[in-house]
């Protein structure tokens, strides 16, 4: 599994690293071949959001054991934070401030003034919904106005992927407004 080098560096076979990473909670399920190709192309692999250097030695791919362990620890901390942020969002507790993008287990949200735009990765992938605006004060779905002209891409080709005609977000309960 681990091999010590003359310089004291401990190596971990890429196959073993991928197998360990797969056992982590909510780790993406890429195949070993995907990781090996990434290592060959980039000289590194991604463990969560953490880049770990990878190289080939004697017909086998390796990663540095200590770097891998640090990436796993960061992945676990990020997962714990994401679970907490998701739970808080369900209770109406918002993290971040104006201009921040916050990642949740299901997707995430962007904060814009007194409002947040919440999206689900699954709903976006299925092309069912790009997301919904909520009032941060009342935690209710906000009303939107679409008075802007379509962008060039939407007008000519039918879909920029953004809500380019959105001109205003407002809350009917507390009166908060966001002009766009």
In the chain, DSSP finds a helix count (H) and a strand count (E) of 5, 12
pLDDT tens profile 97-124:
999 999 999 999 999 999 999 999 999 8
pLDDT tens profile 23-66:
997 787 789 999 999 999 999 999 988 999 999 998 999 999 99
Q: pTM for the complete prediction?
A: 0.76
User: In the prediction, which pLDDT does 12 show?
Assistant: 95
- Residue 61 CB burial class (10 angstroms; 0-12, 13-18, ≥19): buried
Contact 121, 130 (CB under 8 A): no
- Reading the block at residue 5, the tokens are 């080098």
**Order of strands, sheet of 107-112, starting from the edge strand that comes earlier in the sequence:** 101-103, 107-112, 115-120, 132-135
């Amino acid at each position: 599994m681990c091999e010590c080098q003359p310089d004291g560096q401990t190596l971990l076979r890429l196959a073993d690293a991928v197998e360990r990473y797969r056992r982590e909670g909510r780790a993406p399920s890429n195949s070993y071949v995907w990781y090996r190709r990434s290592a060959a192309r980039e000289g590194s692999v991604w463990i969560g959001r953490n880049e770990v250097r990878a190289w080939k030695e004697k017909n086998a791919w390796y990663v540095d054991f200590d770097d891998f362990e640090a990436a796993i620890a960061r992945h676990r901390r990020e997962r714990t934070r994401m679970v907490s942020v998701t739970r808080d969002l369900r209770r109406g507790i918002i993290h971040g401030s104006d201009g921040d993008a916050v990642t949740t287990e299901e997707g995430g949200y962007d904060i814009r003034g007194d409002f947040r735009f919440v999206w689900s990765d699954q709903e976006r992938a299925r092309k069912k919904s790009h997301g919904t605006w909520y009032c941060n004060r009342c935690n209710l779905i906000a009303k939107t106005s679409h008075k802007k002209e379509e962008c060039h891409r939407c007008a000519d080709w039918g879909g920029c992927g953004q809500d380019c005609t959105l001109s205003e977000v407002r809350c009917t309960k507390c009166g908060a407004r966001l002009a766009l």
